[in-house]
Structure 1
């Protein structure tokens, strides 16, 4: 059935009104969605480009969680190192406390008296001063007593022009040779004190005392020689060739002898009490390292961390791989403390072992600083990439929006103009209808 026949004016005005309404719908949709491109039909290039940019932005945003977890894992390990560093510093303090208390087990021995009461009566000096002032060599091989005018000597004939010392404590050996001319017991005492591994003094009884600075057995040898320094040192080290007896010692006290100066085995109660404290702190290093994990990854227990920075795969993927280290007291070179001399342990009664412990702890701190520096560098990289990823994601989103986003001001103005046009079209349509109504009045 055919529809009513419209006049040309009505038809044109109706078409214009329909077009205006369609344009209004388009603009209203843009204002409602905020986009000028809502489908590929609107603008294929901008639509698909925007979708691609948004897709990459979303992928990068998804990587931010992994980057954040990686940063927390690194920070957790870094905090663990900070804690372990404090424990090592506490260990250093414990060792210093032990060193502040004098060792009680140092090997020591006093020789027979080098001065007599008769000499004291003649010289009006103390036995100590008489012994210290005595010459080592004399005119013959007989001991010469001190007199009011002479200091006396130890009975070594003056043809022996060199004197030698050989002192051994543990793995350390000190040797020295010097001229015997005008040499006194005081010179020998001073030479022994230079060794650093033994000390010497003459007591009020006129006896020469030799004492180790640590708890290791001390081999002590003294000799005279007519040849040269090395020979004197060699003679001092031998039980059959030394002159220990001249100083009040026996040949058996020589470096290679069978009865060197040995530890008294008396332990310091203060040092003994510090052993448990040291070992407890040491055990906490292992425990703290085990607790420095985040989300199941512990860089202080040898775990590996991989932080991915982009959305690509294969060789185009960028990431940060961090191989952790197994951090334990043993790996840091910190041995357990004990009360006796045992291989692989720190003997707190031994000054030399305490020095070794100090050196080991200093080395441990250096290792911890190096590891902390490495983690700090990796943390800086991860944080930088995190900031970059956030900014890049924002750039991509902004770029995508610029391609499809509608200008609300422009669209609003266009809608206002279309509304005005619609009203005008409706008025024009009404006027066109009035012409038809004039024809109708002819039949009335």
Structure 2
């Protein structure tokens, strides 16, 4: 539809220039207000959707960072648990070494003189540190012959005679127990009364009042300390969790931790859980009996049992070191991917910003220039209308 007002060519040209300036001013003011040179698909479809894709990928990676961060903490919790358990294992080693260095002795002098059987040989059944043994005393043997037989069974120097030469004296570097009271009285020791001692499937009679055993109770106390440390190991392994994930608790294969590094889930790392409990480390509690084939039993009475326990502690230490190395390697990988993801997010955000963000310094300069251009356009439009203003003066 044509305009009913007749304008000169110069006026129309100046008007179009002012309209263009006003449009550019509006665009510049929008960029200054939003900070974006492309704020919608209408501004530049290709640039807008490319930037949007970059932002979406950046957002996906940002959401994965929380899972990666939790994974780092879960591995660190497990590694800290292993470090603390290693200290408990070392403490358990110290207790076992203290037990094996605690000397067990049996000392005392028979209350009655030794008198050998004159009709038949006599067999004395004994337990030396829980191990069954026997000594055969010949018929009508002298005290020296009896002592020789006993030392052969128990150990050189374990038996001797007193100053009168009639009574047997025991100075054994072990816990020597008798199978029956008859075995005691046959050597002149008083018959024992009270609690018996179990050795596997057999039982020793109560110790004679003539004899004193030292070191056994001390080793028993150390065995209790050892068992307490195993309990602490189990509790510590159970507590080494983060956000419900426990990599050393030993509750099953479901404790494995999978950390995703991309939105598709095809880039990930699975950290395999390990059992750092006493059971997982093959550490057995010390019990009161020393049955055949049982590891570390008998309240640390037997040196061989203590040595077996020490070997199992060494194996446990090696297992913990191996697990710590595995977790350390996994932690290094996860932290590296965490840093990579953070840097990649920065790259994506920067790329998106380069496509859509406006240069505010340039837009501010444009705004000033457009303001000046608008003023000039208005002045030019005024000059273009001066001819008509001259005609108006003639009409007046």
TM-score (norm 1): 0.64
- 1:338 aligns with 287
Using the alignment, how far apart are the partners of 2:106 and 2:281 within structure 1? 29
The 5 A counterparts of 1:409-424 are 409-424=361-376
1:103–1:351 contact (8 Å) kept in structure 2: no
- 1:328 aligns with 277
Of 224, 246, 252, 1:276 maps to 224
* 2:258 aligned counterpart, secondary structure: strand
Using the alignment, how far apart are the partners of 1:333 and 1:215 within structure 2? 31
The 5 A counterparts of 1:161-310 are 200-201=156-157, 266=213, 268-300=216-248, 301=250, 302=252, 303-310=255-262
Using the alignment, how far apart are the partners of 2:173 and 2:395 within structure 1? 145
* 2:269 aligned counterpart, secondary structure: strand
Q: CA deviation at 1:345?
A: 4.2
CA distance change for structure 1 residues 21 and 270 in 2, over 3 Å: closer, same or farther? same
CA distance change for structure 1 residues 374 and 14 in 2, over 3 Å: closer, same or farther? same
What's the RMSD between the two structures over aligned residues?
Answer: 3.4
Please state if 1:356 is matched with 2:308.
Answer: yes
2:105–2:171 contact (8 Å) kept in structure 1: no
CA displacement 1:84-113 (0-9 Å, x = unmatched): 11111111121122122102479xxxxxxx
Q: CA deviation at 1:66?
A: 0.4
Equivalenced residue count is 315
2:74–2:242 contact (8 Å) kept in structure 1: yes
Q: CA deviation at 1:407?
A: 1.9
CA distance change for structure 1 residues 198 and 409 in 2, over 3 Å: closer, same or farther? farther
- 1:369 aligns with 321
The 5 A counterparts of 1:107-126 are none
CA distance change for structure 1 residues 91 and 436 in 2, over 3 Å: closer, same or farther? same
TM-score (norm 2): 0.71
- 1:11 aligns with 12
2:74–2:243 contact (8 Å) kept in structure 1: yes
Using the alignment, how far apart are the partners of 1:406 and 1:199 within structure 2? 97
CA distance change for structure 1 residues 411 and 198 in 2, over 3 Å: closer, same or farther? farther
* 1:338 aligned counterpart, secondary structure: coil
Q: CA deviation at 1:263?
A: 11
Instruction: Choose 75-84 or 381-390, whichever is displaced more.
Output: 75-84
Using the alignment, how far apart are the partners of 1:268 and 1:169 within structure 2? 9
Q: CA deviation at 1:63?
A: 0.4
CA distance change for structure 1 residues 71 and 436 in 2, over 3 Å: closer, same or farther? same
2:158–2:172 contact (8 Å) kept in structure 1: no
Using the alignment, how far apart are the partners of 2:158 and 2:90 within structure 1? 40
The 5 A counterparts of 1:387-406 are 387-406=339-358
1:215–1:350 contact (8 Å) kept in structure 2: no
- 2:387 aligns with 435
* 2:385 aligned counterpart, secondary structure: helix
Q: CA deviation at 1:418?
A: 1.5
Using the alignment, how far apart are the partners of 2:281 and 2:384 within structure 1? 100
**Segments of 4+ in structure 1 off by > 3 A?**
168-171, 201-207, 209-217, 262-267
Q: CA deviation at 1:200?
A: 2.8
Using the alignment, how far apart are the partners of 2:205 and 2:320 within structure 1? 37
CA distance change for structure 1 residues 339 and 437 in 2, over 3 Å: closer, same or farther? same
CA distance change for structure 1 residues 433 and 94 in 2, over 3 Å: closer, same or farther? same
Using the alignment, how far apart are the partners of 2:14 and 2:372 within structure 1? 14
CA distance change for structure 1 residues 198 and 388 in 2, over 3 Å: closer, same or farther? farther
